[in-house]
Structure 1
């Protein structure tokens, strides 16, 4: 194995609460609708801007998108905590020479906010966002693009994610898939398509890495 590619929300960072908060603010302000976290989660797939354009009844999309980012950025420090175990994992992977990538359905703007706030922006060799692909997960376009930029083949990398769409995208890209449920908030309780492995504890994934290097 030469490369590790991660999803972001619910996989590398517990950002789902701030995503829900920002979306709820947008739909409340522009549509006078109160949405639950589950209702918002059901919209996931496109980037945040895509979600707003697809689901908002009010067509003042640009103002709604700006409100989303205002709320996302403004509440990030309050709703998203740094996770030292995640940072230790990324440091270990870098130290051991793995190439690291992110493929997230998030828009570039919100991902950049999160990476900067969490001081994670220096770890990754490639970052693919929802803005960079024509076809979102579960299509494998983003994973294939990351593999190409990392200059590794599908059998030299693994992809970690917390949703059915992540695992399906990995399967379609013929890459080893790992489902993770190690953060307080994640998208899928039970995967409809079984990942090659599932980890609910970062320590167990560290053991997996140790066994690979033996």
Structure 2
């Protein structure tokens, strides 16, 4: 069956937002008397939701308080610390022009993702933007992808999900859709290969070639 919808992770897939994530994480760590961490260290913990990130990287803080402090700080660094990966804009524009329904399924809070999509001039390309606050649970639970397909009105047999991490392969399998992953995000090539995605992409632009006109 033809692909009529493409769902995308955000951090590490569409955009490099690790500078902003690291800045907010280190802000919270400083509040709780912990030294700053390097971006590579923070990057390795991104992807399983903010609560998980705070529990791992600010272990001496009450998780709810750490999450609140992160969210209070993040708008101050979010736009300046996030940039699109090469090839993302023209690829999304091409898919949109073909009539492919597009959605973001991110473990980032929905209001943050919507703001970034707007700031990055992508708002006209996406039909839906979802986060864990829309379904009550983060990925790798498939609820977010299932809800995105419901909103788009496209079944799993005609949908693909694109991410950059092992959990993106896991959530795609759980949702019953093909899982494609792009190199350059939070997971290594070796880990991604071991997860056995349906496609492992060197560049984002390969997506347009894999979805027939």
TM bracket, shorter-chain basis: 0.7 to 0.9
Change (3 A) 1:119 1:69: farther
| Equivalent residues of 2:14, 2:84 under 8 A apart | no
| 1:163-199 deviations in Å (ceiling 9; x for gaps) | 0001110011110111112xxx511112131111111
Structure 2 match to 1:186: 185
| Equivalent residues of 1:73, 1:113 under 8 A apart | no
Bigger shift: 138-147 or 6-15?
Answer: 138-147
Give the Cα separation in 2 of the matches to 1:60 and 1:90: 36
Q: Give the SS at the match of 1:111.
A: helix
Calculate the TM-score normalised by the size of structure 1. 0.84
In the alignment, structure 1 residue 32 sits paired with structure 2 residue 27: no
Give the Cα separation in 2 of the matches to 1:109 and 1:65: 15
Instruction: Mark the runs of 5 or more structure 2 residues left unpaired by the alignment.
Output: none
| Equivalent residues of 1:46, 1:130 under 8 A apart | no
Calculate the TM-score normalised by the size of structure 2. 0.84
* Deviation (angstroms), 1:127: 1.6
Change (3 A) 1:60 1:85: closer
| Equivalent residues of 1:160, 1:178 under 8 A apart | yes
Q: Give the SS at the match of 2:121.
A: coil
Of residues 88, 102, 105, the one that matches 1:103 is 105
Give the Cα separation in 1 of the matches to 2:115 and 2:82: 12
Change (3 A) 1:177 1:124: same
* Deviation (angstroms), 1:87: 1.4
| Equivalent residues of 1:128, 1:142 under 8 A apart | yes
Instruction: Mark the runs of 5 or more structure 1 residues left unpaired by the alignment.
Output: none
Equivalent residues, number: 207
Moved over 4 A (4+): 53-56, 64-67
| Equivalent residues of 1:99, 1:150 under 8 A apart | yes
Q: What does residue range 107-122 of structure 1 map to in structure 2 within 5 Å?
A: 107-122=109-124
Give the Cα separation in 2 of the matches to 1:49 and 1:138: 14
Structure 2 match to 1:142: 144
